[in-house]
Amino acid sequence: LAPPAGRARPTREAPAGAAARSTPSTGAASPPDPRRTLGAQGERHACAYLASLGYEILETNWRCSEGEIDVVARDGREIVVVEVKTRRSQRFGPAVEAVTHEKHLRLRRLACLWLREREVSAAAVRIDVIGVDVLATGVRVDHRRRVIL
């Protein structure tokens, strides 16, 4: 069954230390996943945008058993956890509207885990969402600061 519209299919990660499964190789590289390629493109646009505003990019694609943070940045004395959503069209609405209440709660938990693991202290921590719309007319970045859902 396909996941409901707007919801990503959960992925399973191998336990730490487990060997990754592989399929027999035909010698040819498998084609890149278009969703991952689009997501990586959006994250690059988001990082460039944040850097142009003077943010310091601390980390990208941080993962733990609880999930992933797309971008962690510093904006002055604040640590900013950034969720990046990228779309090729606005048929299903703006990209920033794809962040659910559940995702927001997960980002809050992930922010605490990241701070603890990296032993970073900050005056404040906030969650931002950046929507990147990659359209035929160009790239549009929509930055929502201090998102509360």
Convert the pLDDT of each residue in 28-87 to its tens digit. 666 677 778 888 999 999 999 999 999 999 999 999 999 999 999 999 999 999 999 998
Dump pLDDT digits (tens) for 3-40: 344 433 333 333 444 444 344 445 566 667 777 888 89
Whether the CA torsion 82, 85, 90, 94 is positive or negative: it is negative
Neighbours of 128 (CB within 10 A): 23
Query: What is the b/e burial string over 68-101, where b = at least 16 CB atoms within 10 angstroms of the residue's CB?
Result: ebbbbbbbeebbbbbbbbbbeeeeeeebbbbbee
Neighbours of 140 (CB within 10 A): 15
| C-alpha distance across the termini of the chain, in Å | 28
Neighbours of 55 (CB within 10 A): 19
Write down the pTM of the prediction.
Answer: 0.75
